[in-house]
A = this chain, B = another copy of it.
Amino acid sequence: MHTQQILASHPQVQGKTNDALLRCIDECHDCAQTCTACADACLAESSVGELRQCIRLNLDCADLCLVGASLGSRRTGTNQAVLKRTLEICGEACRLCAEECEKHASKHEHCRICADACRKCERACREAVSSIGAVH
């Protein structure tokens, strides 16, 4: 990913990047990809009937991660309160998706991998939220 490089070159950033936010953007992209693929892999399982809730949470999580990454990549002007709350809800979607995937992790390798990506992204969102600081 070129995340660090490209954000460091923004005229309002000038090298002073927020590293927690950079990591969060990368984890959001990873988690969106993993959740999209896990939903699709669950759908192909013979036991798909037991994986409905997992697919639902995967799809919602993928959607929120992509929007988290997009909002997190903008530095022109400001929309700090919205960014902060978006990453909070993104981290919450990751946590819920991880919890569901963990239930199926012993049976389905894709759920084990997806839970791992979700836990990493959950943590990265939490750290990014803290790094943004108090917003009015």
Binding site for B on A (CB under 8 A): 1-3, 5-7, 9-12, 25-26, 29-30, 32-34, 36-38, 40-41, 43-46, 48-49, 52-53, 55-57, 59-60, 62-64, 66-67, 69-71, 73-79, 81-83, 85-86, 88-89, 92-93, 96, 108-110, 113-114, 116-117
Contact = CB atoms under 8 A, between A and B. Distances in A.
Contact of A33 (B1, B114, B117): B1
A39 to B, nearest CB: 8
State the main secondary structure of chain A at its contact with B.
helix
Given A60-B71, A64-B82, 10 more contacts: A2-B113, A2-B117, A6-B37, A10-B44, A26-B33, A29-B33, A37-B75, A48-B49, A56-B76, A57-B77
